[in-house]
């Protein structure tokens, strides 16, 4: 087990929400140990935990009371991969800015800010026997493994995406170089239906890896040879962060997505709660009061 970490200083981001199309700004502040990842919207604290997930339709949304924050997955994936275990994220609007459609911008700025090691140890979930969830032919299964490894397969037949596989030992360095730049992706032919459903109002060619079913090709330049499956791993990491612990295990996913990712996290959390795994440390919303004093950094 390792020590918990937080940021050295405040980091800010500004952009538009990919679904709302509206301007959004966030401030990520350092936080004491055992805070976890804590969002704040409308002055309402929202812990990043399975009990606060409100929607998994094309994004992960969390909420508490009348406060809601959408599209948290790319930011949270960066925080988890960089071992930023404790922070407070103040949100000016109900959606996190999409930036370039990946986790790359978040990752670069968070790396620049740096981290501080705290006294408490980070909880760890060691997979001792299989945990799995299914939905038709889709599945996620976690197996015992001394390390953290992911194998992911996606299948979009009769399209330029096709079947893609990616397997990797997961760590900070791999995330930065092999996963963080992978953008959210979609088919241009689906855009009208998304717009009619109130989604994708902030989409453009600068924040989405766009494919055409009709032309059977990518309409903008790929960043990786198999960018879509890598983005699916990026998304899944954010759902695993709902557990608020490090993971030792081999996770295999086939045609999963936000809904199945969160379902898996809920099942893992329920087994932890039953005492079958290491107990979780739950975020404490009252730590937000510490940051309302306007402190830029934790006291030494």
Cα(80)–Cα(99) distance, rounded to whole angstroms? 18
Per cent of the chain over pLDDT 90 is 86
Least-confidence region, from 14-28, 99-113, 123-137, 194-208: 194-208
Q: What is the pLDDT of residue 271?
A: 80
Q: What is the pLDDT of residue 197?
A: 86
258 an active-site residue? yes
Average predicted confidence (pLDDT) for the chain? 91
More confident: 71 or 288: 71
- Phi first, then psi: give them for residue 60, nearest 5 degrees: -110, 120
* Nearest C-alpha neighbor of 92 from the set 35, 39, 25, 32: 25
CA-derived radius of gyration, the chain: 18
3-state helix/strand/coil string of 7-64: ECCCEEEEEECCCCCCEEEEEEEECCCCCCEEEEECCEEEECCHHHEEECCCCCEEEE
Domain spans of the chain, in order of start: 3-123+281-291, 125-273
Mean per-residue pLDDT for 119-134? Answer: 95
Q: Does 260 score more than 80 pLDDT?
A: yes
Angle between helices 227-240 and 73-81 (to 10 degrees): 80
Mean per-residue pLDDT for 177-186? Answer: 98
Report pLDDT digits (tens) over 23-54.
999 999 999 999 999 999 999 999 999 999 99
Report residue 295's pLDDT band, with 50, 70 and 90 as the boundaries.
very low
Q: What is the DSSP string of 117-170?
A: EEEEEPPEEE--S-EEEEETTEEEEEE--SSEEEEEEEEETTSSSEEEEEEEE-
Report residue 290's pLDDT band, with 50, 70 and 90 as the boundaries.
very low
Q: What is the pLDDT of residue 198?
A: 85
Report residue 105's pLDDT band, with 50, 70 and 90 as the boundaries.
very high
> What's this model's pTM, rounded to 2 decimal places?
0.91
Instruction: Collapse the DSSP code of 85 into the 3-class scheme (helix H, G, I; strand E, B; otherwise coil) and give the result.
Output: coil
Kindly name the residue from 49, 209, 258, 291 that is annotated as catalytic. Answer: 258
Mean per-residue pLDDT for 129-134? Answer: 95
Report residue 300's pLDDT band, with 50, 70 and 90 as the boundaries.
very low
Mean per-residue pLDDT for 219-238? Answer: 97
Q: What is the pLDDT of residue 110?
A: 98
Instruction: State whether CATH 3.30.230.20 applies to domain 3-123+281-291.
Output: yes
**Which CATH architecture describes the domain 125-273?**
2-Layer Sandwich (3.30)
**Look-up of token digits 């079958």:** 276
Q: Which residues is 28 bridged to in the sheet? A: 11, 89
Report residue 267's pLDDT band, with 50, 70 and 90 as the boundaries.
very high
């Amino acid at each position: 087990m390792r020590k918990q970490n937080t940021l050295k200083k405040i980091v800010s981001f500004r952009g538009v929400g990919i679904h709302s199309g509206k301007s959004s700004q966030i401030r990520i502040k350092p936080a004491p140990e055992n805070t976890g990842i804590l969002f704040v919207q409308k002055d309402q604290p929202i812990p990043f935990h399975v009990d606060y997930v409100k929607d998994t339709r094309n994004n992960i949304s969390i909420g508490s009371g009348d406060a809601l924050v959408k599209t948290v997955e790319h930011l949270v994936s960066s925080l988890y991969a960089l071992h930023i275990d404790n922070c407070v994220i103040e949100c000016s609007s109900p959606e996190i800015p999409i930036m370039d459609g990946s986790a790359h911008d978040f990752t670069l700025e968070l790396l620049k800010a740096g981290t501080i090691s705290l006294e408490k140890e980070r909880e760890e979930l060691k997979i001792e026997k299989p945990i799995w969830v299914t939905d038709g032919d889709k599945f996620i299964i976690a197996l015992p493994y001394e390390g953290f490894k992911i194998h992911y397969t996606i299948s979009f037949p009769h399209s330029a995406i096709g079947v893609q596989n990616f397997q990797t030992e997961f760590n900070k360095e791999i995330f930065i170089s092999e996963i963080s730049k992978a953008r959210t992706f979609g088919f241009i032919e689906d855009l009208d239906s998304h717009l009619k459903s109130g989604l994708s109002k902030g989409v453009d060619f600068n924040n989405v890896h766009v494919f055409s079913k009709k032309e059977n090709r990518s309409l903008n330049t790929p960043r990786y040879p198999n960018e879509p499956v890598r983005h699916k791993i990026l998304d899944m990491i954010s759902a695993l962060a709902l557990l608020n612990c490090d993971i030792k295990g081999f996770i295999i996913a086939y045609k999963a997505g936000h809904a199945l990712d969160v379902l898996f996290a809920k099942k893992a959390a329920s087994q932890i709660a039953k005492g079958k795994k290491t107990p979780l440390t739950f975020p404490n919303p009252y730590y937000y009061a510490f940051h309302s004093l306007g402190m830029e950094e934790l006291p030494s």
